[in-house]
Amino acid sequence: MNIFGRMKTAAALLFGVSAFAIQAVASEPTIVPEQPPFPAQGKINYVPRDSILEFKAQSEYREPEWVTEKFVKTGKLPPLAERLPKKPMVFKTGNMPDGIGVYGDTMRHVIGGRPEGWNYSAGQTQGWGGIDIAMFECLTRTAPLFQVDAQDVEPLPNLAQSWEWSEDGHTLTMKLIEGAKWSDGDPFDADDVMFYWDDNVVDPNVSPLNGATPETFGEGTTLKAIDKYTIKWTFKDAFPRQHLYAMAYGTFCPGPSHILKTKHPKYAGTTYDEYKNGFPPEYLNMPVMGAWVPIEYRSDDVIVLRRNPYYWKVDEEGNQLPYLNELHYKLSTWADRDVQAIAGSGDISNLEQPENFVESLKRAAQETAPARLAFGARLIGYNLRMNFSANGWGEPDERAQAVRELNRNVDFRKAVTMAIDRKKLGESLVKGPFTAIYPGGISSGTSFYDRASTVYYPFDLEGAKALLEKVGLKDTDGNGAVNFPAGTAGGSDVQIVLLVNSDYSTDRNLAEGLVGQMEQLGLKVVLNTIDGAKRDATQYAGRFDWLVRRNEQEQTSVVQNTTQLAPTGPRTSWHHRAGTDSTVDLMPFEQELVDVVNKFISSNDNDERADLMKQYQKVSTTNLDTIGLTEYPGALIINKRFSNIPEGAPIFMFNWAEDTIIRERVFVAADKQGDYELFPEQLPGKPGEGGPIN
């Protein structure tokens, strides 16, 4: 053996010894490694909160000329001033990147989802991609807050035009916009708000789309109508300003009660099923408070929305919004959304699937590229979530119950997290400086993130295997997969069912990567890959062992959907909800999380809130409440012909970009307008009756 050979042997020996030594200590957590820098493109122009909009009467109002000519002059529509509220919402010119706009053109969206129907209040998806955001307006609005000075951040008024706290902070009185109308001309008032609350949120037989429950607004909270335009909230805590965020998209966006009541069991003697499914995609002209109304639907092809002639927002010159006459939603795939936006046959995409990054960047860099592409911070993240319910959520059989018990064992969770090679997982999606190691908890892109409080269990397969043994899992039949102890599930192989959304290649790839890495550990994971809508239903019903899920606003902004950060109520958490006895069987660390989150919600002290989120991050990452997989930035792709797109708009923070860019004030300059309108000079017709009227 030459000298090199000897050195190698010595090294191997040494390595072997140190590997052994490492094994004993490697399970020690550290703080998460620093992320590779990824500078966001587009400088955000921070502004005071009150510089964006106000409510004010104008001396004169305007609308597209064809609306006046074809609809008002022929008596089909009342004059504009009669269709607008007393004091419309006015977007201030100073906050519009390109100023007052002109009418015309279309924004062509492509989506991977499919509409179940229009009954958002009863939990039906419209197919995502911001179509619901275009249709439904909420009491408050948060997406544009990405540009508001940090010390000034509070939800913007919307359907609730102003609010006032009582002296003791337990009641909040909101004034609704006065005299605004649904897109069919029916008045919007407190009846709509109360119908949403009493007969949808509070009614246990109904679950609105984004999962609003009474606890979303704090335990013990009540809501009452005072008069036609005044509502009053009563809270257990004093000044829980945080709940103003829950009144934004997507948990307080009321539907048209005059239409929905015609199918609701309480008013129509129908069943809850008939209510939920009473407004299928074929039901056109569903009344909305949003800027565009769905007037055409062709299955697996397209949804077309036209401007709402009763829309209640204007610019400072009194031009009724929106500027864009039409929206298209092509029913395709999410990956196709990127391809079409880059090619110019679609207009907008949230580039969020890393598998498409390199190709999209290459094309967008060409001077002739029809779209611009700008990356933001690392705000897209994925977690593995384990079902923590041991008291019957989803009615597990013996095997599933045994998996739940494992999920609740911290050594088991440590074994799983230590067996994940996150670098490899990230690089399997895209090479380069995009993905970063993400141990779980809140996102590194939020202002509440604190690296020092983020605990990370480094990749250590041997250490992970030792932990599995400690948990009592051994491969007793020599087939490579560990078995349950003899008395559990007949000592069979541990088999774990992982629920995955089939609509996104990223979800599928991460899940498949995980299956391979778990196989190395000796855990047999099988995939239950189903489309987004079915995935959601399966998840809400608790029928999963494990789940791979893209992060939501509670991780990216923390202040939005905050109650979902822990099982603060029976149905707030994604992975731990109430069992058959209506209680959540919290583990001690979860109780800590619940307490921290509740304190955060009721605190108005910024330093205390920052501190509480550090505690949250520490408890959640130490105990592996969720198991982070990867984190990366997303990019907004938008066709160059659009104006008023704010610079630095993140594709996801308080909400998705479709809300962030404030589409109702986006416009296309006259010399850049395309010929894309499919229903030019037409407006929505009667609810449920055919397409547009002309």
Q: Which is nearer to ligand GLA, 250 or 440 (CB)?
A: 250
CB of 331 to ligand GLA, least distance (A): 13
Q: Give the residue with the Cβ less far from ligand GLA, 315 or 659.
A: 659
Inter-residue contact 115 to 125 (CB < 8 Å): yes
Q: Does 354 bind ligand GLA (CB under 6 A)?
A: no
Q: By C-beta, is 512 or 536 nearer to ligand GLA?
A: 536
Nearer of residues 71 and 128 to ligand GLA, judged by Cβ: 128
Distance (Å, whole) CA 588 – CA 592: 6
Position 312 contacts ligand GLA (CB under 6 A): no
Which residues, numbered 321-350, are part of the site for ligand GLA (CB under 6 A)? 334, 350
Check binding of 633 to ligand GLA (CB under 6 A): no
Q: How far is the CB of 127 from ligand GLA (least distance, A)?
A: 8
Helix, strand and coil percent figures for the chain, each rounded to 5: 35, 20, 45
Cβ closer to ligand GLA: 509 or 622? 509
Angstrom distance (rounded) from CA 404 to CA 420:
20
**Best CA proximity match to 237, nearest among 221, 260, 214:** 221
- When binding is defined by CB under 6 A, the residue of 85, 104, 123, 130 that contacts ligand GLA is 130
Nearer to ligand GLA, 211 or 680 (CB): 211
List, in order, residues 6 or more apart from 146 with CB less than 8 Å away: 44, 648, 649, 650, 653, 654, 660
304 in Cβ contact with 328 (< 8 Å): yes
Residue number, 435 or 620, with CB nearest to ligand GLA: 435
List the one residue from 656, 661, 682, 684 that touches ligand GLA (CB under 6 A): 656
Smaller CB separation from ligand GLA, 128 or 544: 128
List, in order, residues 6 or more apart from 534 with CB less than 8 Å away: none
Closer of 116 and 352 to ligand GLA (Cβ): 352
Q: Do residues 441 and 625 lie in contact, with contact meaning Cβ atoms separated by under 8 Å?
A: yes
The one segment of 125-133, 169-177, 275-283, 320-328 that binds ligand GLA by CB under 6 A: 125-133
Q: Which residue, 359 or 689, has its beta carbon nearer to ligand GLA?
A: 359
The verdict on 124 binding ligand GLA (CB under 6 A) reads no
From 72-80, 124-132, 224-232, 674-682, span contacting ligand GLA (CB under 6 A): 124-132
Using only C-alpha atoms, the chain has a radius of gyration, in whole angstroms, of 26
- What's the closest the beta carbon of residue 521 comes to ligand GLA, in angstroms? 30
Nearer to ligand GLA, 105 or 503 (CB): 503
- Looking at residues 18 to 47 of the shown chain, list those that interact with ligand GLA (rule: CB under 6 A): none
Supply the minimum distance, in Å, between the C-beta of residue 649 and ligand GLA: 13
What is the closest distance, in whole angstroms, from the C-beta atom of residue 337 to ligand GLA in the complex? 8
From 127-135, 164-172, 192-200, 450-458, span contacting ligand GLA (CB under 6 A): 127-135
Binding-site residue total for ligand GLA (CB under 6 A)?
Answer: 8
The conformational region for residue 573 under phi > 0 = left, psi -120 to 50 = alpha, else beta, is beta
Q: How far is the CB of 656 from ligand GLA (least distance, A)?
A: 4
In the block, residue with structure tokens 């709402």: 308
Tell me the closest approach of the beta carbon of residue 22 to ligand GLA, in angstroms.
40
Name the DSSP letter for residue 603.
Answer: -
129 binds ligand GLA (CB under 6 A): yes
Angle at 50 between CA 45 and CA 56, to 5 degrees: 130
Q: How far apart (Å, rounded) are the C-alpha atoms in residues 585 and 593? A: 14
Q: Please report whether residue 137 would count as binding ligand GLA according to CB under 6 A.
A: no
C-beta separation of 190 from 231 below 8 A: yes
Cα distance between residue 278 and residue 597, in whole Å = 37
* Closest residue by Cα to residue 187 from 92, 114, 113, 83: 83
The pairing of beta strand 546-550 with beta strand 495-501: parallel
CA 247 to chain centre: 15
**418 and 568 in contact (C-beta within 8 Å)?**
no
**Residue with smaller CB distance to ligand GLA, 132 or 460:** 132
Three-class SS string for 420-461?
Answer: CCHHHHHHHHCCCCCCECCCCCCCCCCCCCCHHHCEECCCCH
Listed residue (32, 150, 21, 16) closest to 463, CA to CA: 21
Q: CB 647 → ligand GLA: shortest distance, Å?
A: 20
352 part of the interface to ligand GLA, by CB under 6 A: yes
Is 290 near ligand GLA (CB under 6 A)? no
Residue 368: partners with Cβ closer than 8 Å, 6 or more residues away = none
Closest CA to 126 of 267, 292, 269, 340: 292
Give whichever of 600 and 652 is closer to ligand GLA, judged by the CB atom: 652
The pairing of strands 302-307 and 53-55 is unpaired
Shortest gap between Cβ of 205 and ligand GLA (angstroms)? 25
CA 90 to chain CA centroid, Å, is 27
Measured between alpha carbons, how far is 136 from 132 in angstroms, rounded to an integer? Answer: 6
Q: How far is the CB of 616 from ligand GLA (least distance, A)?
A: 25
Q: Which of 55, 118, 128, 382 binds ligand GLA (CB under 6 A)?
A: 128
Residue of 421, 545, 590, 658 interacting with ligand GLA (CB under 6 A): 658
Please tell me the distance from the alpha carbon of residue 656 to that of residue 522, in angstroms, as a whole number: 39
Rounded least distance, CB 646 to ligand GLA, Å: 17
Q: Is residue 287 at the binding interface for ligand GLA, with CB under 6 A as the rule?
A: no
Which is nearer to ligand GLA, 109 or 571 (by Cβ)?
109
CB 352, min distance to ligand GLA, A: 5
**Using the rule CB under 6 A, is 136 a contact of ligand GLA?**
no
Is residue 91 at the binding interface for ligand GLA, with CB under 6 A as the rule? no
Site string for ligand GLA, 429-468 (x = CB under 6 A): ----------------------------------------
| Least distance to ligand GLA, CB of residue 36, Å | 24
Task: Give 130 or 155: the residue with its C-beta nearer to ligand GLA.
Answer: 130
Using DSSP, state whether 46 is helix, strand or coil. Answer: coil
Q: How far apart are the first and last CA of the chain?
A: 92
| Residues forming the site for ligand GLA (CB under 6 A) | 128-130, 334, 350, 352, 656, 658
